[in-house]
Each structure stands twice: as C-alpha cells, then as structure tokens.
A and B are shown apart, each in its own frame.
Chain A
Amino acid sequence: MTGTISKLVTVILLMSVCACGDNSARQGGLSFPVADSVPAGEAVKLSDEAVADIVQNIASPVEIAAILQSMEVPFSAEYLAPTQGADRLTTNFQKAVMLGIYGADLGYLNMYEKTGNSVDVLSTIKRLADGLRVGQYFDFETLKRLSVSKSNLDSLLFISVNSYNQIDEYLRDNNRGSISALMIAGVWIEGQYLASQVALGNHDEVLRDRIGEQKIILGDLLMLLRPYRESSAEYTSLYNMMETIAGTYRDVRITYRLGEPETVEQDGRLVMVQHEESIVEMSDDQLAEIAAISKDVRTKLIYGK
C-alpha cells in the first residue's frame, strides 16, 4: 500500500516535472550543437540498429547496489568518486565520462537511501549535464527536493534513472553517440569498481558471478567505443584501458547448463522461471587482478593519472 502511494506520488511529481520543468532547450531555445571532438565522418558509425542492439542495460548501477543490499554490505562513502575538481573538467570527453561515474554513484546513494549525501553529487551532475547541453533532461530542483526531504525513494530512483535514460536516448538520436558511449563507459567502470572492491572483502557468489559475467558485456562495450577510438588521444587511451580490463577476463570461463523454462500464473501475472543457467568460473587471483585493473582505470579517469 505504501509502495502504491509512493508510486502515485511519483506519477504526480513526474507530471509536474513535465509541466513545470525548464523546457527552453527542448522547445527550441537558442542553443547550438556542441562539438564533441569527433570530426564528422571520421568515426565509422555504427548503424542505429547495431547501437540499439548493444546499449540497453549495459550498466545498471541500481542492480549492482541491489546485490550489495541483499548481501547486507553496509554503505561506504569511500567508494564514491570525489566531486571536488569536477568544475575543472574542460573537455566533453571528461564531462561525459564523469557524468556516467557520478550517475552510478547516485544510484548507489539512492538505493541505500543516503539521499542527504546525494545533493552534492546531484549538483555536480547538473553542472556536467549543462556543460554537455543535456541538462534539460535532469530536473535538479525536483531531485534535490526529494533527496533533502527523504520522502519518496521510488520517485527519486525513477526520476534519476529516467533522466539518464533520456539523456542517453537524446544523445544517440542527435548523432552524439560518442558522448553517449562515454557516459555508458563511465557508469560501467564505476559499477565495476564498486562491485569488485566489495567482492574483495566479502565472499559472495552472486556478486562474484556478476563481476565474472562482465566478460560478456565488456565485448559489447568495446564495440560501442570502437568507432570513436581514433577520434582523440583521450578516446584512444580509454579504449586501450578498457581493452586492458578485457584482457584480465581472458581466462574467466562462462559455461551454460541447459534447462527448460517453467511458466506459472501467479496473482494474475505470468511468471517464468528460467532453468537454463550461466556458470562463471573465476579464481580469487583473477578477481584480484580484475579489481586492481578496474580500480587503476577508474583512478586514471577521475584523477587523470
């Protein structure tokens, strides 16, 4: 019942956001496309279909945070990226990657209901989004109000995740796939850092599986970044770093056990339990190496060294 009321409030809030938000940019205010450092025609663009094929749900910070919660791992602010210095980011490359990193942190904060701590992250995200001319999809005032009041977690999660989805969609629809790819890479690396650091200190098969399974996802993430890798030195460096992470997965094995799915009707809903299973084989040493390299890449992206 409480959840339903929360979600009702979410609907009302979202409607008010749509009605009252700053729509100037969407409705043709004087804004000009930002050069994203990828010369037209230089990048071998992926077809729209191929991009759609690989970008959905590559990195979902709320799913990782949900696993940590189920493990009863306490929240730690030490895992968060520092927001100091975000004002000094000058290139769209840096802004896009950090927008992704802070997006993952926001998901982690919100899932743990540390909403009071998230205002600083929200402000930083807003500045970066504005810098990339996608700030119109991020309703800072509503998110800030929800964070401070701690009143409606469902609304907060919905609006923040939805904002990132909309930013991603807008960027891809407007031939700014290079920026979208950077944002997704940022979300992924922060989620990977968080999951692997927690896994080092807490043995949990579900979390280990999640880290090992990134071998599957990394291939697609690299495919997403590949068309732009020669567009700038920053992009080349990121691509090479992501390839290094992929290299640490070389000996991680993923096998599949076949099984027929089972479908039942429960409370008017159709429920399918999948019995086919993916099985990850990853040693402690492999996990340690993945965690170390992932941390190293994240540090380079945040601190530039």
Chain B
Amino acid sequence: MANKMKSRFVIISIALLLLPSMMQGQPATDDLVSSCVLTAGDNTTYLKDFRVQLPAAAANAATPVYKANMYLMKNMKYRFSVCDAPGSKGELTITIYDQGKQLISSFNKSTGKKYGSIDFICNKTGLYTLWYDFMNGEQGSGVGVVCMIK
C-alpha cells in the first residue's frame, strides 16, 4: 500500500514538473501570428488573425474548412495573408465569399499557383465569409492575418 502511494506520488510529481515545460513546448501561435504580420509587408496595419487547425479530408468527404465571417468596409483596402505553422503538412489557402459567391482565392486551381497573400479593394460594406482550408485536403495548421493597407 505504502509502495503504491509512493509510486503514485512520484508519477504525479514528475507530471507536475514536466507540465510547464510541455506547455512551453506547444506551438506558439502568437509567434506565428507576429511573423505572419511581418509578411504582410510595409504600410499595413494588423486588424485580425485566425488560427486554423484542420484534419485531413476523409475519403470521399468534403475538404475541412475553417469559416469566419468578417465585416469589410467600403473604401478600405485589405490584405489577407496566410502562413503555415512549422511542420504543417498542408499549405493554407484563403477564399473570400460574398453572399455565397466566390470573389477571390489565394489558390488558383486552374493554374495551380498559390499566393501568400491577396489584396482586396473593397467597395461594398458588408459581411464577407473567409474560408480557410489546406491544399488537397491535407491536415495542417497555420494562421490567416487580415491587415488594412494604409
């Protein structure tokens, strides 16, 4: 009984000792956000970020998508940047929809070209839907950053 108690105490102690270092070792999405803001370039002001983590698409199933609705304003220029987390299998892409109609995507399926960011010169204030997904339905994690272009 005493031995059992002792071993349980040792296990809990080790777990408590390791926990802080394990927490430190978790992917620091804040670092990824800040480095992604950097890729947005000069003359931009950060507005919002979206942390995206998606599983791989199941066979014969739709590609998993992270959706967020965001107000975009007339007379403003926005830059949408996407950055992959280190070790992410998939490459993050963004597609902007206006009331179900696709406006622009950072991945051109017909040419296979992928852009790290897209600019949107907005002339209609409204609620737009941002779709984040990973190319070819792969599992992945990354961040999307929205900036205002000055």
Interface residues of chain A, those whose CB is within 8 Å of chain B, are 1-4, 7-8, 10-11, 14-15, 17-18, 27, 52-54, 56-58, 60, 62-63, 66-67, 111, 154, 157-158, 161-162, 165, 206, 209-210, 213, 216-217, 220, 256, 259, 261, 263, 266, 268-278
Q: Is the CB of A18 within 8 A of B28?
A: yes
Q: Sample 22 A-B pairs with CB under 8 A, ordered by A number.
A: A1-B42, A3-B41, A7-B37, A7-B38, A11-B31, A17-B30, A53-B69, A57-B72, A62-B47, A62-B148, A63-B148, A67-B75, A111-B45, A210-B73, A213-B74, A261-B103, A269-B115, A269-B116, A271-B119, A273-B121, A276-B98, A276-B123
Question: Distance in Å from the Cβ of A208 to the closest Cβ of chain B?
Answer: 11
Q: Is the CB of A270 within 8 A of B48?
A: no
Interface residues of chain B, those whose CB is within 8 Å of chain A, are 20, 23, 28, 30-31, 33-35, 37-38, 41-43, 45-49, 68-76, 79, 98, 103-104, 106, 115-127, 146, 148, 150
Q: Is the CB of A57 within 8 A of B71?
A: yes
Q: A4-B42, A213-B125 given as contacts; is B74 within 8 A of A161 (CB)?
A: no
Say whether chain A's binding surface is mostly helix, strand, loop, or mixed: helix
Q: Is the CB of B48 within 8 A of A165?
A: yes
Q: A277-B123, A278-B123 given as contacts; is B68 within 8 A of A269 (CB)?
A: no
Closest to A56 in B: B70
Number of A-B contacts defined by CB within 8 Å: 142
Q: Is the CB of A272 within 8 A of B37?
A: no
Closest to A207 in B: B75
Q: Is the CB of B45 within 8 A of A217?
A: no
Q: Is the CB of A271 within 8 A of B70?
A: no
Q: Is the CB of B69 within 8 A of A209?
A: no
Chain B residues within an 8 Å CB radius of A158:
34, 37, 46
